[in-house]
Chain A
Amino acid sequence: ETGVTQSPTHLIKTRGQQVTLRCSSQSGHNTVSWYQQALGQGPQFIFQYYREEENGRGNFPPRFSGLQFPNYSSELNVNALELDDSALYLCASSIDRMDGYTFGSGTRLTVV
């Protein structure tokens, strides 16, 4: 197992810009979820992909979007960045929706 790898580890963007965060899941993990963790808070569910289809979404606006690829990698895209988007973004994958999740170390996004 290679674990869940996220890139980049840190990123600074300007308000209004767009950003793409990447996640490489473990082989065979057909489910990936993305979470936003603001400083001092618990992670908040953004959305989940199962077999390349969006399977559920939290209370995040449409400018948060994602993709999942057949090679077990995925992306989180955020358009029109706002200062409040500054957070740690966590990717989590699992073999199936019912299984336990393995989290990556996250991408720290700072919007200035």
Chain B
Amino acid sequence: GNSVTQMEGPVTLSEEAFLTINCTYTATGYPSLFWYVQYPGEGLQLLLKATKADDKGSNKGFEATYRKETTSFHLEKGSVQVSDSAVYFCALRDLGPNSGGSNYKLTFGKGTLLTMNP
């Protein structure tokens, strides 16, 4: 079945540091890949997405490139801010023929908490 593995947190950084959150996936078909962000007490917000190999998703200074050869979709940001403190989820949506009848569901990783040094 489909699965998403992302680096465990928490990730603690100083303001303006470089951020990388690793994400790898296993899928039976041709997935679309997503990063969602969850701020404390809130639901999920779509941060960026990529629908095919070599696509780069970007938003609010965050970027991730769909790497089919390494089955990865790592999230990066060049200079994090205090306001970026949140939990980040990598997810896939597999639209392939063997996706088990729930073609449009999202499969999420366990999430990575980003906190900032005071």
Q: A residues engaging B (CB < 8 A)?
A: 4, 6, 31, 33, 35, 40-45, 48, 55-58, 90, 92, 97-98, 100-106
Contacts and interface: CB of A to CB of B under 8 A. Distances in A.
B22 to A, nearest CB: 15
Main secondary structure of the interface of B (DSSP, over half): loop
Contacts, number: 63
A31 B105 CA distance: 11
Nearest 7 pairs between A and B by C-beta? Answer: A56-B102, A42-B108, A103-B43, A45-B105, A103-B44, A97-B104, A105-B43
B107 interface: yes
Contact of B105 (A33, A90, A98): A33
Assign chain B's interface to a size class: 20 to 34
A88 to B, nearest CB: 8
Nearest to B46: A100
Interface string B16-46: 0000000000000000000010000111111
A103 B45 CA distance: 7
Contacts of A55: 102, 104
